[in-house]
Homo-oligomer: A and B are copies of this chain.
Amino acid sequence: MDRIKISLDEKDLPRRWYNLAADLPSPPLPPVTPDGKPITPDMLAPVFPMNLIEQEVCARRWVDIPDEILQILAMWRPSPLYRARCLEKHLKTPARIYYKHEGLSPPGSHKPNTAVAQAWYNKQFGIKRLCTETGAGQWGSALAFACRLLGLECKVFMVRISFDQKPFRRLMMETWGAACTPSPSPETQAGRAILEKMPDTPGSLGIAISEAIEAAVTDPTGKSRYSLGSVLNHVLLHQTVIGLEAKKQLKKFGEKKVDAVIACAGGGSNFAGIALPFVADKIAGAQIDIIPVEPESCPTMTRAPYVYDHGDTARMTPLLPMHSLGHAFVPPPIHAGGLRYHGIAPLVSAGIRAGLITPRAYHQLRCYESAVLWARTEGFIPAPETSHAIACVIDEARKAAEEGKEKVILFNWSGHGLMDLSGYDAYFRGKLQDYSLPQEELDRSLAVLAGLPKPK
C-alpha cells in the first residue's frame, strides 16, 4: 500500500499561532482614518473586544493558543495531509502533490479555525452575542457553529439573494441556533434606508457588513460585538494552524523541502493559513513559490494597486493598507462567492509588495474543469473557491512534467462543494462563462480612492 495521508494525533495540535508581522522585512503599516491618522485601539473598542484588538496589533512572532480553543479545534484537527496520488498518476507528473483537507470540519471549510477563536476571546471579554454578515454562507455557518459551542448568541445578516437562493446554508446556521436575517433588513437603520430607496434590492456584502456592525454597536446592553471572517491580522493568525500542521506532516511523509505553496484567496485567510509559516522559511532563505490564486473577474492582487481603502462598501471600517479594486467594486456573480471581495488582507498585500508572495488569476471555466478532474481522481468534491487553487496546482504539476522535475507542491483544500452543487450544474449545462474585467471599468472603480491617504 502506498501511503496517501498523514493523520496526526490531537496531541500534535500546534500550541502557538504564527504571526508573520514579526518577520516581515519592514513592519506592516497601521490602519488609518480617512484623514490619515493611525487608528487607536480605543476607536475599535465598540466593534471588537479588546483582547482581539490587542491580537490585531500584536508584534510577537508566536501567540499561545488557549487550551479551551485547542479542545474545540480537536473536533476536526489536526486535519489530514493527503498526497494526491491519483491526480499525479492522471497527469503523469513527477511532482508530488500534497493537500491539507480543511473540508472535514463540521461547517465544511477552514473558517471555523478562526470562528472558534473569535467566539472564545469574545466570551472571555464578557460578550454575549456576535453579529456578522455572510454572502454564500461559509463564514456565517462557521460562526453559528462556534457561537453555539461556546454558548454565545449569533446574529447573521445574509445577503438577500443568497438567503433566497441558498436555503441549505441558512438551514445549517439555523440548525446551530443562529438567527439569520436576509439583508437589507428592517432591523437596522442602514437596512431600512436601503429598503426605502430600493425595496427589491438583492442586497450586497457591503450592505450586510453595515447592518452587522450597526447591530453590534447599537446593542444597548453593550454585550454585542462584530466578527469578521477574513482580511484582518488576527483572523489570518488563527488560520496558521493549517500551515504549522502541514510542516509536521510533510516531514512524516519524508519531504525535506517544498517548492510551491498554493491556495485560493478572497479576503486572504485560507491562503494565509497554509502559506504564512512558509513565507517565514522564504524570508529565512528557502526557495519557495508562494501563490495565492484569485478569479480573473475579481483581480485584486494581480491588477489592483496597493492603496489605503475601506474594507466595506459603506465605508464604516478604517482604511486598510492593501491591494484594492475600490470599495465600491461589485464583482460579477461568479460561483466562487468567497472570492468576490474588492480587497485582500493587509498582511498578504505586504507579502506581495515584499516580493515574497506571487499571485495568479484564473478563469472560472478552467477552475470548474479542474474541480471535476479532481473529483474524478481524488474523490472529494471541492468548493468553487478551492477549485482556483486546484487549477493552479494542475498547471504547476504539468510544468513539472514538461521539465521532468520532482517538485513538491503543497496546497490548501479549503472546503467541500456539497452546498455549492448548483455551480457544477450550471457548468455541466454550459451556462457559465468567463469574464475579464475591462481596464476602463477597473479605472472607474478605482476613482473612489481619490482623496484618500496613500500608503508610504
Confirm or deny: A104 has a beta carbon within 8 angstroms of a beta carbon on chain B. Answer: yes
B3 touches A86 (CB 8 A): no
B9 touches A71 (CB 8 A): no
Contacts A106-B381, A171-B425, A381-B172 given: A5-B376 contact, CB under 8 Å?
no
Q: In residues 145-181 of chain A, which contact B (Cβ within 8 Å)?
A: 145, 148-149, 167-168, 171-172, 174-177
Enumerate chain B residues within 8 angstroms of A174, measured Cβ to Cβ: 424, 428
Confirm or deny: A75 has a beta carbon within 8 angstroms of a beta carbon on chain B. Answer: yes
Q: In residues 407-450 of chain A, which contact B (Cβ within 8 Å)?
A: 418-419, 421-422, 424-425, 428
Q: A386-405, CB under 8 A of B: which get 1 and which 0?
A: 00000000000000000000
Contacts A168-B418, A177-B376 given: A74-B10 contact, CB under 8 Å?
no
Q: In residues 8-50 of chain A, which contact B (Cβ within 8 Å)?
A: 8-11
B4 touches A376 (CB 8 A): no
Contacts A168-B418, A428-B174 given: A149-B1 contact, CB under 8 Å?
no
Confirm or deny: A108 has a beta carbon within 8 angstroms of a beta carbon on chain B. Answer: yes
A175 touches B424 (CB 8 A): yes
Whole-angstrom distance from the CB of A215 to the nearest CB of chain B?
Answer: 22
Partner of A9, one of B7, B148, B175, B377: B7
Q: A56-74, CB under 8 A of B: which get 1 and which 0?
A: 0000000000010011001
Please name the residue on chain B nearest to A377 by beta carbon: B149
Q: A71-112, CB under 8 A of B: which get 1 and which 0?
A: 100110000100000100000000000000000101010000
Please name the residue on chain B nearest to A9 by beta carbon: B7
| A379 to B71 alpha-carbon distance, docked (Å) | 13
Enumerate chain B residues within 8 angstroms of A419, measured Cβ to Cβ: 418
Q: State the interface size on chain A (CB cutoff 8 A).
A: 46
Enumerate chain B residues within 8 angstroms of A381, measured Cβ to Cβ: 106, 172, 175
Confirm or deny: A253 has a beta carbon within 8 angstroms of a beta carbon on chain B. Answer: no
Contacts A418-B419, A421-B168 given: A372-B4 contact, CB under 8 Å?
no
A175 touches B418 (CB 8 A): no
Contacts A1-B74, A10-B5, A379-B106 given: A86-B172 contact, CB under 8 Å?
no
Please name the residue on chain B nearest to A381 by beta carbon: B175
| A421 to B418 alpha-carbon distance, docked (Å) | 12
Confirm or deny: A380 has a beta carbon within 8 angstroms of a beta carbon on chain B. Answer: yes
Whole-angstrom distance from the CB of A200 to the nearest CB of chain B?
Answer: 25
Confirm or deny: A2 has a beta carbon within 8 angstroms of a beta carbon on chain B. Answer: yes
A375 touches B176 (CB 8 A): yes
B379 touches A424 (CB 8 A): no
Whole-angstrom distance from the CB of A363 to the nearest CB of chain B?
Answer: 20
Q: In residues 120-147 of chain A, which contact B (Cβ within 8 Å)?
A: 145
Interchain Cβ contacts under 8 Å between A and B, 9 examples: A1-B11, A3-B10, A5-B10, A149-B377, A168-B418, A171-B422, A172-B418, A175-B424, A418-B419
Apart from A7-B9, A106-B380, list 4 A-B contacts with CB within 8 A: A4-B71, A106-B375, A145-B379, A418-B419
